Amino acid sequence: MKRTAEIIFTVIGILLYAIPVVLAGILLSVKDNPDFRAEIERGINTAPNADELGNINMDQMIDFLGTFTTVILVAAVLAIALGVLSIVFLKGDKKPKAAGIILIITAIVMTFGTVGLGLFAGVAYLIAGIIALVRKKKKPAEDPNTLESY
């Protein structure tokens, strides 16, 4: 049985999970840039509610931003790896139920793991997982002439 629809939705999910990977990579690469730090300070100081923010420690904020970005990066890369594993299971109709379960669990967990950045990718994985679980194998048609009578 061909699993083209599941594979297409999984590939779409992989491509959509690549977006947080790229964004996280860019953010991690500029995290230690002094110009980036100055731009964040300028943005905080010119914010309409700058008085309410109080005294913010920029080092702690940049460290938090780096940690937060790393968590998103790891979650998105893990989601991509599980998507590739599911495609391997779906190719040749080897383990479609396992692939469906992996896709559904990955869709739910990694949507939260990427803090909503992987929402559309999670939807694609969820659709692929549901299709993989619901679709049944076709039974071969029986030819009455090949049956032996007892």
Asked if the structure places residue 22 within a domain, the reply is yes
pLDDT at 150 over 60: no
Asked if the structure places residue 43 within a domain, the reply is yes
Q: What is the pLDDT of residues 46-71, one digit of tens each?
A: 777 766 666 677 778 888 888 999 99
Query: Tell me, what's the pLDDT at 50?
Result: 61
Run of H or E including 126:
helix 119-134
How many other C-beta atoms can be found within 10 angstroms of the C-beta atom of residue 54? 6
Count of domains in the chain?
Answer: 1
Q: What is the pLDDT of residues 13-30, one digit of tens each?
A: 999 999 999 999 999 998
Query: Tell me, what's the pLDDT at 148?
Result: 58
Average pLDDT over residues 122-127: 96
Ramachandran angles phi, psi of 78, nearest 5° = -65, -40
Q: State the average pLDDT for the chain.
A: 87
Q: What is the pLDDT of residues 68-85, one digit of tens each?
A: 999 999 999 999 999 999
Asked if the structure places residue 42 within a domain, the reply is yes
Asked if the structure places residue 150 within a domain, the reply is no
Domain boundaries, position 113: 4-48+55-134
Instruction: Give the largest CA-CA distance in the chain.
Output: 92
Q: In the 8-state DSSP scheme, what is residue 9?
A: H
Asked if the structure places residue 141 within a domain, the reply is no
In angstroms, rounded to a whole number, what is the distance separating the alpha carbons of residues 4 and 6?
6
Average pLDDT over residues 105-126: 93
